[in-house]
Chain A
Amino acid sequence: MSDDGRGTIAATLRGRLGGFGLDVALLAPASGVTALVGPSGCGKTTLLRCLCGLTRLAGRVSFRDEVWQEEGRFVAPHRRPVGYVFQEASLFPHLSVRGNLEYGLRRAPPATMVSFAQAVDLLGLAALLDRAPGTLSGGERQRVALARTLLAQPALLLLDEPVSALDAEGRAEVLDRLDGVIRSLDVPVIYVTHDVAEARRFASRIVAMRAGRIVGEAALAAAPSQEEARASVAAMPRDEVERLAAAALVAGLSRPPE
């Protein structure tokens, strides 16, 4: 993996959780969007939870030059500059939309990435500020959750299947807003999904998982011409070609037309 000078997210984790063993070594650039794809139950969410410290397995986790976990060291989740959006919005039901947004903002370091007004604007929440979470649609709730997370000014944004619990309408609405967020904010994202189309829409890099292991990785650059692609494949060692092919298959990419 090429380092673009903005550091990396690295995690080597091992352990049993529920029915399967997780054994991964993740290395991703601390920039752009890395999609983590794979069938449900393959350990994507567990890996994500380990990155933010909500789940603890044996191993090492680092972000840029900070070590969040290693032998004899475990930084508590509230001390890691990560934002996490859960599959269900998980808003605080006793607070209004505004109260939910301010919850993150109040505990964040002085705003550096996004202001209250900017977050409200990016996620289209102006009309919802005084509503109670219980009165919102699924898509609206997830937009609030996203804004709330951004306002905590995370240095790393973790999205755990943020639209998979929504109906088609809510999904489209949230994905459109998410597109705007990713374009306008410079925050590295790890995006967990089992939907490859979703991953391809945002990701600059795809990591495929299966049964607790990483089975393939690929960078999604601007598509090269066929000649360029052939030339670069010809220059690769055979195992690299096989690894890429496996990642492409897992990611649902089919053979290009001749």
Chain B
Amino acid sequence: MLDVVWLTARLATVTTVVLLVLGAPLAWWLSRRGSWLKEAVAALAAMPIVLPPTVLGFYLLLALGPSSPLMAPLHVFGVRTLAFTFTGLVIGSVIYSLPFAVQPLRAAFEAIGDRPLEAAATLRASPLDAALSVELPLARRGFLTAAILVFAHTVGEFGVVLMIGGAIPGQTEVMSIKIYEFVEASDYAGAHWLAGGMLIFAFVVVFVTLLVGRGLDPFRR
């Protein structure tokens, strides 16, 4: 059972890191005033919230499968498909949890506004310098919220990981799927261990998120 927990934690951690790195520039760009095109991109990035996970999983399965044109360049390197692999799971999780990174980060960047950046510019900080020395630290609460939400959301996903991962033990079998399998096999004790653990985990996550949201930063000194 521990390998399932370990795999789930690894998937959630990798997804969180990837999403913070990719989501921050996207959220920053979305937070600047702009055209309707920007809102169209924002809508695209928010779509996983309203789409059934199976829809996402289905198209990801096609996109990462051996006959997908997206995979053609990888054939050269001997990779025929990313479906039913850990990498495939990470790609699926990143897309599925994208809104949970972008929304809090965008809100954080919007709350900072233009003025601190203007002040930094008149103090001779280049735009990149100002982003790193002023915006990043000022948006740290947004980053914390995004990290918590993405991690928890990835741990909790079921439909996407089932479609794209196929529940291969040790490779793509995560906790939410394992619980389903325990129940199918009438192993309620096993299901209780995982399900009960996730209940507690979910409470802690939501509680910490609320504390962060109210400015009571639990990770401070």
Contacts and interface: CB of A to CB of B under 8 A. Distances in A.
Interface of A: 52-54, 76-79, 82-84, 86, 88, 90-94, 103-104, 107-108, 148-149, 152
Given A86-B115, A90-B116, A94-B137, A54 B122 contact: yes
A78 B119 contact: no
Interface in B121-174: 121-127, 129-130, 133-134, 137-138
A84 B120 CA distance: 10
B119, B127, B133: residue with the most chain A Cβ atoms closer than 10 Å: B119
Contacts of B118: 54, 77, 84, 86, 90
Interface residues of B, number: 18
A149 B123 contact: yes
B134 A149 contact: no
Given A92-B134, A93-B138, A103-B133, A86 B119 contact: yes
- DSSP class of B's interface residues: helix, strand, loop or mixed? helix
Contacts of A107: 123-125, 129
Given A54-B118, A90-B115, A90-B119, A152 B124 contact: yes
Contacts of B116: 90, 92
7 contacts: A78-B126, A82-B122, A86-B119, A90-B115, A92-B134, A107-B125, A148-B123
Contacts of A93: 138
Interface string B102-124: 00000000000001101111111
A54 B121 contact: yes
A108 B119 contact: no
Nearest to A148: B123
Nearest to A104: B123
Contacts of A90: 115-116, 118-119
B138 A94 contact: yes
6 nearest interchain CB pairs?
A: A84-B122, A77-B121, A107-B124, A104-B123, A90-B119, A94-B137
B127 to A, nearest CB: 8
Given A82-B122, A84-B118, A93-B138, 12 more contacts: A77-B118, A78-B129, A78-B130, A84-B122, A86-B119, A88-B115, A90-B116, A90-B119, A92-B119, A92-B120, A92-B134, A104-B124
A104 B130 CA distance: 12
B122 A83 contact: yes
B130 to A, nearest CB: 8
A94 B140 CA distance: 10
A18 to B, nearest CB: 14
Nearest to B114: A54
B133 to A, nearest CB: 7
Contact of A78 (B124, B133, B134, B137): B124
A86 B126 CA distance: 19
B143 to A, nearest CB: 13
A88 B121 CA distance: 16
Contacts of A82: 122
B120 to A, nearest CB: 8
A103 B123 contact: yes
Nearest to A152: B123
Nearest to B126: A78
B119 to A, nearest CB: 4
A76 B125 CA distance: 11
Contacts of B115: 86, 88, 90
